[in-house]
Amino acid sequence: MSTSSTVERAFEAALYADSDAALDTGASLLAADPASDAELARRGREFVTAAWRRGWQPADVVRLVRRDLDDLHVRLVTSLILQEQGGDGSPRGARWAAQLDELAGTPHEVRTDRFSHATAALELCRLLLRLPSIEPLETPHTAAPASAPRETRMLSRIRALLAKAEATGFPEEAEALSAKAQELMARHSIDEALLAARTHAKDGPGACRIGVEPPYETAKAVLLDAVAGANRCRAVWNDALGFSTVVGFEADLEAVELLYTSLLVQATGAMAKAEAAQRAGGRKRTKTFRQSFLAAYAHRIGDRLASVAEGQVTATAGELLPVLAARDVAVANHLEEMFPQTVTTRMRGITDEAGWHEGAAAADRAQVAPHPHLPRNPDHPR
């Protein structure tokens, strides 16, 4: 029996049926034939390459595998991705390279018995085979701004400020640190925009994907949407696949990634403290408390971030306004190109009054500038 036919028979048995019996049959065939290992790895790389053709990127695939399968599958797909390295021959930007570098630094050795390895490989191939096509991020239109994100002194300082904000146990200190970080982000974005305009750089908006992890995905997606809006970006949430696509210029995309990650850490910590206080008062809190908390936090913090960003714009010379207006139009147009059809969804489960007030209070403690309250309508694009 040839190696290739062993792999084909295993795939025919396991990939197109969801039963455990079919999976066991395929895994048994592979485990019994050590000569099939190289062919199985080659076919696995082909599945990975096919995912790239359908618009996926390395971090997207790993994130989905982590969500739907186990650590063994994550290690296996990471190894396949690192081995694949451009199998489809398409051009790939610096964000792609950065994702590969990050994966290379994570554990991806697969050490287990033959049957377990074969089972995991078939389960992974099942998932990869059924990946839908999604909007590609690397296109000729976005090739220019896809140059390597630079770790400038400004970005290093922003990272340090946000790390301190996450670590401190004092709300006032976190407030000051987060405010300063957003101020620097806005200043960095303005400088990049003015430089591109003055040098007539062929710049254009691009896009990145940011995972929106369970639980309370809807509230987290609202938070990401608020951060994106404050940084002159637009976010579209794919709830089925667990990520939001953020469209904007490179400096603004960097700001959104940094700030969303930090604020999510801060919001989670504040929510845990609020729940502890509620329990100490004899009141048991539930999922609705946490969902309401995060929703209120997202809405209030978004307005405050926008206020800081607008303050930086106001303090800048008049030549900035037409530059930013042109960029806003470019972002809106690119969003329309990528997502010609979007729908608006309303958040459900925001019924816990205490959770809402606690979340709003936490956002107020992290406030970055005084301004009017956010509207309470929790609609956002998806």
- What contacts 219, CB < 8 A, 6 or more positions away? 291, 294, 295, 297, 298, 347
Query: Which pLDDT score is estimated for 52?
Result: 95
3-state class (DSSP) for residue 209: strand
3-state class (DSSP) for residue 380: strand
Among 116-130, 338-352, 362-376, the least confident range: 362-376
- Total Cβ atoms within 10 A of residue 363: 28
Query: Which pLDDT score is estimated for 359?
Result: 61
What does the alpha-carbon distance between residue 77 and residue 96 come to, in Å, rounded to a whole number?
A: 16
pLDDT tens-place string over residues 51-60: 999 999 999 9
Query: Which pLDDT score is estimated for 142?
Result: 41
Residue 366 has pLDDT above 70, yes or no: no
Query: Which pLDDT score is estimated for 58?
Result: 96
What does the alpha-carbon distance between residue 28 and residue 155 come to, in Å, rounded to a whole number?
A: 51
Query: Which pLDDT score is estimated for 349?
Result: 52
Query: What's the whole-number mean pLDDT along residues 291-311?
Result: 84
Among 32-41, 47-56, 235-244, 292-301, the least confident range: 292-301
* DSSP string for 68-100: HS-HHHHHHHHHHHHHHSSTT-----HHHHHHH
Residue 87: pLDDT band with limits 50, 70, 90: low
Cβ atoms of 378 and 222 within 8 Å: the answer is yes
Query: Which pLDDT score is estimated for 357?
Result: 53
Q: What's the chain's average pLDDT?
A: 84
Which range of 13-27, 141-155, 342-356 scores highest in mean pLDDT? It is: 13-27
Give bridge partners of residue 344 from the DSSP assignment: 381
Give bridge partners of residue 245 from the DSSP assignment: 209, 236
Query: Which pLDDT score is estimated for 141?
Result: 41
Query: Which pLDDT score is estimated for 179?
Result: 80
Backbone CA torsion sign across 276, 278, 283, 288: negative
Residue 368: pLDDT band with limits 50, 70, 90: very low
Burial of 24 from C-beta contacts in 10 A (0-12 / 13-18 / 19+): middle
What does the alpha-carbon distance between residue 311 and residue 200 come to, in Å, rounded to a whole number?
A: 26
Residue 148 has pLDDT above 60, yes or no: no
Query: Which pLDDT score is estimated for 8?
Result: 96
pLDDT tens-place string over residues 244-293: 999 999 989 999 999 999 999 988 888 888 888 877 777 776 778 888 88
* DSSP string for 103-167: HHTS-----S-HHHHHHHHHHHHHHHHTPPP---S--GGGTGGGSPPP--HHHHHHHHHHHHHHH
pLDDT tens-place string over residues 27-46: 999 999 999 999 999 999 99
Query: Which pLDDT score is estimated for 50?
Result: 96
Query: Which pLDDT score is estimated for 364?
Result: 60
Query: Which pLDDT score is estimated for 283?
Result: 72
What does the alpha-carbon distance between residue 295 and residue 280 come to, in Å, rounded to a whole number?
A: 23
pLDDT tens-place string over residues 96-142: 999 999 999 998 999 999 999 999 999 999 999 999 999 999 543 44
Nearest to 260 by CA among 162, 190, 188: 162
Residue 90: pLDDT band with limits 50, 70, 90: low
Residue 65, both tokens = 């595998």
Which range of 66-75, 85-94, 295-304 scores highest in mean pLDDT? It is: 66-75
